Amino acid sequence: MSAKSVNKTGAFVSRKRSLEAKAVRSIFVSCIIIGLSTLLIGLAIYTLSLVRQYIDNAFSVSVYASQSVNTETEAVGLAEAVMAIYDDLSEEQRQTIGTDSYRSLFEHLESDHTYNELLQLLSQYYRSDSISDIYLAMYDERTSALVYIADPDDSNRLSIGDWEPVSETETRKFLNWDGQGKLYDVSYTEKYGWLCTAGVPITDSEGKVCCFVLADVSTEEVWAGMRTYVLQITLAMTLIVLVLILVLYKKLMSNIVNPINLIAQRAGLYASDKLAGVEESSHFADLQIHTGDEIENLANTMSDMERDMVTYERNLAKVSADKERIETELLWANRIQSAMLPSSFPAFPDRTDFDLYASMTPAKEVGGDFYDFFLVDDDHLCMVIADVSGKGVPAALFMMAAKIIIASNSMLGYSPSKILSLTNNTICSNNKEEMFVSVWLGILELSTGKLAASNAGHEYPAILDDRGVFRVFRDRHGLVIGAMENTPYKDYELTLKPGQKIFVYTDGVPEATNASDELFGEERMTDALNQNTDASAREILDNVTKAIRVFTEGVEPFDDLTMLCIDYKGNK
């Protein structure tokens, strides 16, 4: 047995590219994204709730304050007096706000006992933790200004008659309030930043609005209320994410990484023992891998392969002629290859939403074609059909490697194009013989009939359309797998209706040749498919096989003949 070679890299690079490292990175990134998304959504919901709470509190304070103002003060008269002076001001006089001349116009009102009563009354409500200021003011629609009547805020007190510009929207909202719901407005100013103003109107005996009791809530109050929550939720989410990462890491290591590494280790020991001439050794029988998935099947297959190889070697020693030795070798290779392909039909006897059948007839004892199908989860069926370059044992070995790589990548939940891209890069990384494989891969969502597929240089699929006729669907091709690293692949989507079928095949079907060197071709293939479109998936393949045999009667097949048909029934 000749020595085998693997991709030689340094220890650091090997760890970086290892399946464990990739799994850790994927888990870490996924958990961080989920954690951050959950944290941001939670903060957004809490912020909206907190803002709404502050608005409700501000409005409630305004309501209570307005009741006190109405019953305990003569605020209406003071407001009317202030607005009468303000309305008589010219534009030039209003622009002198803050000057002694401007304030002299209103100073006689500051000595009014009503003004002092209002300041004392509002000061009692100003102490509330839920608001930043409470004051009496009136909106002037003509000048879009807020005219202050009484403001108890010592840090930024505005004198009676002072005014500030406000938006027309806020002015109209407060002056035209119909009394329904809560009256508030959220706006941004250079002086105060983001500010929410809630208020209640004060009316005279005729129901005319004379002024408003207004309460402000700034972003500082909101942020102060959020600090503790932000810290608590951040710590909680961090802990949850770390626990989730640890749990997923342990699960992934125990169910995927460790079993694969164990199989790889035993495969290396198997190769070393064979090179050393060790006989009657057992490397895979005692692996004790019970993951219940493709990895367990792979371990069982390797155990069967080793057992078959031991049997083969015993038989080979008894064979004296080279021809018999080669035939025995090919026989075991055929058995190993057949064991790698799903061969029990119906494949999913408990599923009524689809029917599937596939077959592979090699041109020689072993071939380079293969098909595969498996459930990624309860709602997604992955289907693969491929054709390896070349014939015989080399193609069969390359086929088995490609099949395992495709199946492993498919179970990670990627799109068809991503699966083909990862498979291509893995094969290109150690493809010294420069072999390649064409692949059609589709993932069918069984509940909806949506099919996502990608084509790496393979034959076009044939689809039973709405009129009940099989037609070749000329999808977009990518480069074959193994030709060039980092090759991009594209996905396309189809939606299957109940009763529709898809037929995929290798080039052995259209390129089957008769004695006159004529090709079977796509037209004869679709004629065979349309012979009975209501037939089962197995009968569809039988019809195509019979048509090829009649066409090529007396001629040995040159290429492998591999076909797969799925009949989508849906949830009827």
At 259-294, the pLDDT tens digits run 777 777 777 777 777 777 776 667 777 777 777 777
Residue 389 lies in a domain: yes
Check whether residue 214 and residue 346 sit in a common domain: no
pTM equals 0.46
Question: What rounded mean pLDDT belongs to the chain?
Answer: 84
Residue 1 lies in a domain: no
Q: Which of 28-37, 354-363, 406-415, 459-468 has the lowest mean pLDDT?
A: 28-37
Q: Percent of the chain, pLDDT > 70?
A: 87
Tell me phi and psi for residue 517, to 5 degrees. 60, 30
User: What pLDDT does 321 receive?
Assistant: 52
Distant-in-sequence contacts of 427-434, Cβ < 8 A, 24+ apart: 427/401, 427/402, 427/481, 427/482, 428/482, 428/483, 428/484, 428/485, 429/7, 429/485, 430/6, 430/7, 431/482, 432/5, 433/394, 433/398, 434/482
- Total domain count for the chain? 2
Residue 148 lies in a domain: yes
8-state DSSP, 256: I
- Omega of the bond leading into 346 within 30 degrees of 0 (cis): yes
The Cα–Cα gap between 48 and 46 comes to: 5
User: Is residue 458 over pLDDT 90?
Assistant: yes
User: Is residue 401 over pLDDT 90?
Assistant: no
Check whether residue 381 and residue 522 sit in a common domain: yes
Query: Of 205, 225, 245, which closes a domain?
Result: 225
pLDDT class for 1, splitting at 50, 70, 90? very low
Of residues 164, 231, 159, 222, the one with CA closest to residue 194: 222
Check whether residue 40 and residue 183 sit in a common domain: yes
Asked whether the beta carbons of 498 and 550 are under 8 A apart, the reply is no
Asked whether the beta carbons of 153 and 226 are under 8 A apart, the reply is no
* Higher-scoring residue by pLDDT: 245, 213: 213
Query: Of 185, 208, 225, which closes a domain?
Result: 225
pLDDT class for 327, splitting at 50, 70, 90? low
Q: Which of 33-37, 47-51, 383-387 has the lowest mean pLDDT?
A: 47-51
The SS3 call for residue 405 is: helix
User: What pLDDT does 220 receive?
Assistant: 67
What's the pLDDT tens digit per position in 37-63? 887 887 778 777 777 887 888 888 888
User: What pLDDT does 50 receive?
Assistant: 72
Q: Which of 106-120, 230-244, 315-329, 440-454 has the lowest mean pLDDT?
A: 315-329
Of residues 355, 454, 475, the one with CA closest to residue 406: 454
What's the pLDDT tens digit per position in 78-105? 999 999 999 999 999 999 998 989 989 9
pLDDT class for 174, splitting at 50, 70, 90? very high
Q: Which of 51-65, 294-308, 363-377 has the lowest mean pLDDT?
A: 294-308
User: Is residue 543 over pLDDT 90?
Assistant: yes
Check whether residue 496 and residue 351 sit in a common domain: yes
User: What pLDDT does 367 receive?
Assistant: 66
CATH number of residue 157's parent domain: 3.30.450.20
- For residue 314, what are its two tokens? 């015993």
User: Is residue 119 over pLDDT 70?
Assistant: yes
User: Is residue 522 over pLDDT 90?
Assistant: yes
Distances (CA, A) of 297 to 76, 203, 208, 521: 88, 84, 85, 37
User: Is residue 526 over pLDDT 50?
Assistant: yes
Structural domain harbouring 540: 341-568
Q: Give the mean model confidence (pLDDT) for residues 169-186.
A: 90
What's the pLDDT tens digit per position in 465-486? 988 999 999 999 999 999 999 9
pLDDT class for 324, splitting at 50, 70, 90? low
Residue 7 lies in a domain: no
* Higher-scoring residue by pLDDT: 288, 165: 165
User: What pLDDT does 136 receive?
Assistant: 92
Q: Give the mean model confidence (pLDDT) for residues 508-521.
A: 92
Query: Of 185, 200, 225, which closes a domain?
Result: 225
Residue 301 lies in a domain: no
State the Rg of the chain over Cα: 40
Residue reference for tokens 């058995």: 335
Residue 9 lies in a domain: no
Q: Which of 140-149, 236-245, 271-280, 329-338 has the lowest mean pLDDT?
A: 329-338
User: Is residue 316 over pLDDT 70?
Assistant: no
CATH number of residue 370's parent domain: 3.60.40.10
